[in-house]
Amino acid sequence: MVAGGRGAAVGVGLAVVMVVLGFQICSAQITRSGFPSGFVFGTASSAFQFEGAVKEDGRGPTVWDKFSHSFGKVVDFSNADVAVDQYHRYPEDIKLMKDMGMDAYRFSIAWSRIFPNGSGEINEAGVDHYNNFINALLANGIEPYVTLYHWDLPQALEDKYNGWLSPQIINDFAIFAETCFQRFGDRVKHWITFNEPHTFATQGYDVGLQAPGRCSILLHFVCRSGNSATEPYIVAHNVLLSHATVSDIYRRKYKRRQRGVIGISLDVIWFEPGSNSTEDIAAAQRAQDFQLGWFLNPLIFGDYPTSMRSRAGGRLPRFSQPQAALVKGSLDFVGINHYTTFYAYHNHTNIIGVVLNDTIADSGAFTVPFKGLKTIAERASSIWLYIVPRGMRSLMNYIKNNYGNPLVIITENGMDDPNNPFKPIKEALKDEKRIRYHDGYLTSLLAAIKEDGCNVKGYFVWSLLDNWEWAAGFTSRFGLYYVDYRDKLKRYPKDSVQWFKNFLAS
| Cα distance between residue 504 and residue 506, in whole Å | 5
Task: Give the count of domains, the chain.
Answer: 1
Mean pLDDT of 12-16: 34
DSSP 444-484: HHHHHHHTT---EEEEEES-SB----GGGTTSEE--SEEEE
Q: 206 or 350, which is more confident?
A: 206
Q: Output the pLDDT for position 350.
A: 61
| 22 belongs to a structural domain | no
> What is the residue-averaged pLDDT of the chain?
93
| Structural domain includes residue 20 | no
Least reliable range by pLDDT among 3-17, 26-40, 301-315, 340-354: 3-17
Asked whether residue 28 is assigned to any structural domain, the reply reads no
The reply to whether 9 falls in a domain is no
* 442: in domain: yes
Q: What is the 3-state secondary structure (H, E, C) of 113-165?
A: HHCCCCCCCCCHHHHHHHHHHHHHHHHCCCEEEEEEECCCCEHHHHHHHCHHH
What's the CA gap between 23 and 140, in Å, rounded?
Answer: 29
Residue 137 lies in a domain: yes
Distance CA 291, CA 377 (A): 22
Planar angle of CA 306, 309, 310, nearest 5 degrees: 85
How does pLDDT run across 382-421, given as a tens digit for each residue? Answer: 999 999 999 999 999 999 999 999 999 999 999 999 999 9
- Residue 217's pLDDT is what? 84
Q: At residue 198, does pLDDT exceed 50?
A: yes
- Which residue type is seen at 314? G
State how far the Cα of 479 lies from the Cα of 475, in Å rounded to an integer. 12
Instruction: Using pLDDT thresholds of 50, 70 and 90, give the confidence band for residue 468.
Output: very high
Q: What is the mean pLDDT of residues 265-290?
A: 98
Domain at 485, CATH number: 3.20.20.80
**CA dist., res. 358 & res. 360, Å (int):** 6
Asked if residue 423 is part of any domain, the answer here is yes
Extract the runs of DSSP E, i.e. beta strands, from 141-234. Answer: 143-149, 190-195
DSSP-derived letter for residue 219 is B
Task: Tell me which residues are annotated as active site.
Answer: 196, 412
Q: Which of 334, 336, 340 is nearest to 441 (CA)?
A: 340
62 — alpha (psi -120 to 50), left (phi > 0) or beta?
Answer: beta
For residue 151, being part of any structural domain is answered with yes
Q: Which domain holds residue 446?
A: 33-504
The 3-state secondary structure of 65-87 reads HHHHCCCCCCCCCCCCCCCCCHH
